[in-house]
Amino acid sequence: MKRRVTLSGNQMTSKETMHPYLSKKLQLPSYYGNNLDALFDCLCEIATPLHITVTYTERLLLQTGSYGEAFLRVLQNASEENEMLQLSLFALSKERIHRQ
């Protein structure tokens, strides 16, 4: 059975708040390094099906700028690398901007 996790751009207001939120929501391992390289590594290690949906991406980008852009690229790259990971991005809660 595929696990589904929704990440809200409203909750990721800064680089400092993003990683504890991601760690909790994605149930990342205790050794997670709280940075984008570590996030990529952890996402590529996922061995059971996981579908990540990110909502309010426009708010995320407004609040976190280039770091938010890099975060979304990490999610995209990890979903391309790991067949167990699917990704959906929504600008608003109902407006889909990307789906893989």
Q: Kindly report, residue by residue over 58-70, the tens digit of the pLDDT.
A: 999 999 999 999 9
Could you tell me which of 4, 8, 9 has the C-alpha nearest to residue 27? 4
Confidence of residue 92 (pLDDT cuts 50, 70, 90): low
CA angle 67, 72, 75 (to 5 degrees): 125
Single out the residue of 20, 26, 76, 66 nearest to residue 46, CA to CA: 26
pTM value is 0.88
Cβ proximity of 55 and 8 under 8 Å: yes
